[in-house]
Amino acid sequence: MIAINLSGIQANEKLHNLGLENGQVVTVKHHPEWDDNEKALAIHDEMGNQIGWIPKLETIVKYGKNAKELGNVEEAQKQRDRYSNASFIRDHVWTDMYRNHINVEGKICRVQHDFDTGNIMSVSVMFDYM
């Protein structure tokens, strides 16, 4: 099993109404209208609501470069590790979706809320790719 923290969570104002829970099954969908240099892979709940995105590698690289420029070695290392995980997951998901013609599912393994507002701040999804 390998997990990843989704991107686009804090920008999704509808999340707090979805009742997201650990163990909830989610699916990956490709959104070609959002492709640029990389494929846009979104995570949806069983009702079809979009939760977030599997992070794009170019975004992770950008965060890592920013951390390095600021001299934050720990954050730069974190982004290198995140890049490796995201690359591994994206490759397996894409292969299953388009070569093996499999609907890719994962499970929510962590939902983090803001203590003051109750808003969802972070969602992680686990995939069975190890």
Question: What's the chain's average pLDDT?
Answer: 94
The alpha-carbon radius of gyration of the chain (Å, integer) is 15
Cβ neighbours for 98, distance < 8 A, ≥ 6 positions apart? none
Q: Is the pTM of this model over 0.75?
A: yes
In tens, the pLDDT along 108-122 reads 999 999 999 888 999
Q: What is the pLDDT of residues 31-59, one digit of tens each?
A: 999 898 899 999 999 999 999 999 999 99
**Is residue 111 a contact partner of residue 3, using CB atoms and an 8 Å limit?**
no
Phi-psi category of residue 80: left, alpha or beta, with phi > 0 → left and psi -120 to 50 → alpha: alpha
Q: What are phi and psi of 48, to 5 degrees?
A: 90, 0
Structural domains of the chain, with CATH: 2-127 (3.30.70)
Q: Round to whole Å and give the CA distance between 126 and 89.
A: 10
